[in-house]
Structure 1
Amino acid sequence: MNVALIDRHPIFRTGIRVMLNSQLNNINTLETGSMNSLAKVNKLGDIDIVIIGLSEEQPEIDKAVLKRVMRKNPLASFIVCAAIPCYESVGSLMRMGVKGYLNKNSSPDDLMTCVNAVIAGEPFVCHQV
């Protein structure tokens, strides 16, 4: 399974990668600091899951860029992990095609539940939202 981890903070990407590798088999990860750079650094080919971290400094997702990344990766399931959940945007993100939404304060179990749900084709929104 090919997973792209997008977040401006390397420690967040590393933590997610380590957690996924400890829980799932055959994981290949690609890490990048922004959605704009994903196409430039993608050496994995088809991506199965894209996990996008939003920070306190960047609490909103650029929906135009998200749509472009979704078009370029039509087979991928997208998960947004927000430092500050924006309750108003969860519905619009899900309507755009995002399959999972987490708060960065969620537990590691919530992340794995979310990943397993989107792998199974089911949407997931953490209970904090």
Structure 2
Amino acid sequence: MLTKTKTVDGAAIKKAIEGRDGKLLSSFYTDDALVRVVDRNNPPSKPREIRGRAAISTFWDDICSRAMTHKVDTTIAEGDNLAFLQACAYPDGTKVVCAAMLELKNGLIARQTVVQAWDE
């Protein structure tokens, strides 16, 4: 029996992020995927690295459980690369912006680099 693999595209990313669907987001990654996060607490020389679908699932579950809104403003695809810009807001008005670059392998995310900044 064949299992249908969901191919990641801008519409799928937008739906999952804006719907705060951590389970769906996690399904977009290869088993050995790597997510690198660069922000104030994780500078380029020492980015946060989240390895493997299980750890990435925990990462997305945490983000999607927070009381905040997410909006994917722009997605750009070229070959096996997908990029998107995301704007987030907490109920207290704190804003976050995130730019992400994804490298796809067989339609799933193999590598992702996230650069984010937030109000302080």
TM-score interval (norm. to shorter) = under 0.3
More helix, by proportion = 1
Q: TM-score, normalised by structure 2?
A: 0.28
More strand, by proportion = 2
Q: TM-score, normalised by structure 1?
A: 0.27
Q: Which has the larger radius of gyration?
A: 2
